[in-house]
Amino acid sequence: MNTVIASPYPYPLPAKDSGSRVALVIIDMQRDFVEAGGFGAALGNKVELLQKIVPTVATLLKTFRELGLPVIHTREGHRPDLSDCPPAKKRRGDSTLRIGDSGPMGRILVLGEPGNDIVPALRPNAGELVIDKPGKGAFYATNLQERLKELGITHLIFTGVTTEVCVQTSMREANDRGFECLLVEDGTESYFPEFKQATVRMIQSQGGIVGWVTTADRLIASLRQAYTGSTS
C-alpha cells in the first residue's frame, strides 16, 4: 500500500484503479480573503499572511493536474439578494464594511463579484469542480457530498484558508461523512499563526481524531510514487 509520511501515522493512499480516488480540496483561495479590500481585510486582518501559501498550493494544483487527479475549489459567498446569508452572519463583527456592502472589489462576499474570484495563480480549469458555499463548511447547503460520491472520491487533501475556520470546519464535516482527510500544513494559513498551530495539533490528536497532517513535499513525492511509479 502507498502511504504519505504524515502525523500521527502514515496516510494511506487509494491504489491506482481501485475505484477509490484521492482529490485535492482548495478552500476559499478567493480575493475576498487573500487580497486587500475584501472581507478578510474589512475584518481588520493582515491578508499578506495568507498570500505566502499561494505558490505551495499552486505546486500542489499543478501536481494533481499532471497526475490526472481531481481538484475541488470552494468559494465562500452569498446570492446577490443575500437570501442565503443568515442575518446573524451579516450582523457579526464591528466592521464598517459588511457582507453585501460595496467595497473596492465589489460587494463583499457576494457571488459573481470580483472579490469572490479565486486568485489568478489558482484559477480553476474547465471541468474542475467549483463549490459555492454560503457557510464556513464546504458540505453545508451544497451538493459536495453527492458530487464526491459520483466521482468515487474517498480521500480528501485539504489546503486553503483559513485554517481554523473554513478549512477546519470542512475537514470536520468530511471526517464525519467518512472521508479519509489529510491537511497540508504548508498549504493552509490563518490570519492568526497561533490558531493555525492549534488546529494542526488538534486535528491529528487522539490518533487522528479528525485526520492526518503532512507537508506538500511529502505529499507530492508519495503521489508521484503511487500514481506514476516515479519520485521525480
3-state SS, residue 26: strand
Q: Is 28 a catalytic residue?
A: yes
- In the block, cell 505566502 appears at 52
Asked if residue 108 binds ligand C5J (CB under 6 A), the reply is: no
Asked if residue 166 binds ligand C5J (CB under 6 A), the reply is: yes
Q: Is 133 a catalytic residue?
A: yes
First-last CA distance in the chain: 19
Q: Is 181 a catalytic residue?
A: no
Asked if residue 139 binds ligand C5J (CB under 6 A), the reply is: no
Asked whether 58 and 122 are in contact (CB, 8 A), the reply is: yes
Site string for ligand C5J, 2-31 (x = CB under 6 A): --------------------------x---
Smaller CB separation from ligand C5J, 91 or 230: 91
**45 CB neighbour count, 10 Å cutoff:** 17
Asked if residue 165 binds ligand C5J (CB under 6 A), the reply is: yes
Smaller CB separation from ligand C5J, 118 or 166: 166
* In the complex, minimum distance from the CB of residue 136 to ligand C5J, in angstroms, rounded to a whole number: 6
**25 CB neighbour count, 10 Å cutoff:** 29
Asked whether 200 and 227 are in contact (CB, 8 A), the reply is: no
Site string for ligand C5J, 30-59 (x = CB under 6 A): ---x--------------------------
| Helices and strands per DSSP (H, E), number in the chain | 9, 10
Amino acid sitting at position 134: P
Contact footprint for ligand C5J (CB under 6 A):
28, 33, 76, 136, 161-162, 165-166
